[in-house]
Structures are given as C-alpha cells and as structure tokens.
Structure 1
C-alpha cells in the first residue's frame, strides 16, 4: 500500500513522513503548490 503525504517539507508532515519511512511504509510525497500536471 502506498501512502500519500501532503506537506512533507513542513514541520509536522516531515515528522510523519520520517516515522512512516522508519516503519517501512511506502510513501509518496506531494507538494500542494505544484500543479498535478507536472507530477
């Protein structure tokens, strides 16, 4: 299962992303300021 993390560059989101990675989760980091067309 892939987990999408919004705001992973921020204070809370980065901690959530780090925790998920430590637990072995597959994550995808999304930036909310970038249009989805460029992903």
Structure 2
C-alpha cells in the first residue's frame, strides 16, 4: 500500500489487490478458529 514510486520501479513484480466484496462489510462477525 502506498509504495514509493522508486520501490515500484525497482520491483520485478507489483500486485494491487482490491476488495470487491467481504462478509465483514455486511456485518458478519469473525469466527473463532477461522479468522483468529
């Protein structure tokens, strides 16, 4: 996140992940043993 442009330029691989949908956003609580 917010990598310096020089770091991006020097890297061989740069990946940007974008959240499209997540259960937490719909109010689903974390489940013990799965999320923590």
Does TM, scored on the shorter chain, surpass 0.5?
A: no
Structure having the higher Rg = 2
Structure holding more strand per residue? 1
Q: With structure 2 as the length reference, what TM-score do the two structures score?
A: 0.29
Q: Which protein, 1 or 2, shows the higher relative CO under an 8 Å CA cutoff with sep ≥ 6?
A: 1
